[in-house]
Structure 1
């Protein structure tokens, strides 16, 4: 028997740094799709948050995890100390001191996982829960790709993100940028000496400006 597939998404609004439980939303998605037995593969579509399976009963476990991560990767914009005991500031800080630390925290954790579905719900241990772990210092709206594989009698149409929604998401992302820093960087690109120093190679600022032009040219 051929297996059906459904690719859809969940949107999760976080309250800032910490853990957002996903068991209820994922099980509801599985029920809505009519998946009785199969697999659900999750992909976090961001570089500053991650997925984890951990304790669902004692909240002190999550507090200890957060404290451990704060100690290993502080959100102050500085990296680990060098041989002289000095900490170098991260180069990437366009969105604030927590920007690069959030990327490092994501690299240390995971952004994908595959889970078995049995009798219409996630196959998890008694004390297990799936969490989205927010690594940024402020609330964010996160997207989670959900790929369901199995017998899907109620297969729905995969979610289609319209161009208007893409523009809205891009605008929201740009609003979170450090405006003054981006402005300084953009202004620097207009200085001939600055262009000559890097040999005319496109930087992330150049690519951002090009993308802004593309967005502005798209029909409303």
Structure 2
């Protein structure tokens, strides 16, 4: 059993949900070394998130962004507003979506379903640099 861990940054983006599967795979060329295993992605932030969802129709990402804005609206009265009016709603959305996902690895590739992709969900209006810790555990090719 072999372990690998590294931290990489996602391309900064404004509020929204973005398909980043290719960006993740490009940041982790060592995935190709694993016959079978698990990839855990952990975002080191409290106002953004990671999830697996639709990888084909971009309307799904727009609809998700709209739905999350309705669930945790910026205009609501929050106690925590030290970093701006979009900060507390971002924390709520991050807790709902989550900051970590685990994906199986099979034959050097992510073993996602046909329509699944890795999403980076940014919940703040302005661009932020977001770091992801990638941990791989598995059996390497000999």
Structure 1 residue 112: Cα displacement: 1.3
CA distance in 1, matches of 2:70, 2:85: 15
> Which of the pair has more CA radius of gyration?
1
Q: Which residue of 2 aligns with 1:16?
A: 14
> Which residues of structure 1 form unaligned runs of 5+?
79-88, 154-220
Aligned 1:62-141 pairs, distance under 5 A? 62-76=61-75, 78=76, 89-141=77-129
Task: Deviation per CA, 1:56-89: give whole Å up to 9, x if none.
Answer: 111111111111111111123x2xxxxxxxxxx2
Q: How many residues align?
A: 141
Q: Which has the higher contact order (CA 8 A, sep 6+)?
A: 2
Task: Deviation per CA, 1:108-151: give whole Å up to 9, x if none.
Answer: 11111111001111111111101110011111110111000113
Which protein is richer in helix relative to its size? Answer: 1
CA distance in 2, matches of 1:134, 1:29: 19
Which protein is richer in strand relative to its size? Answer: 2
Aligned 1:188-199 pairs, distance under 5 A? none
Aligned 1:35-54 pairs, distance under 5 A? 35-54=34-53
CA distance in 1, matches of 2:82, 2:53: 32
Q: Cα RMSD over matched residues? A: 1.8
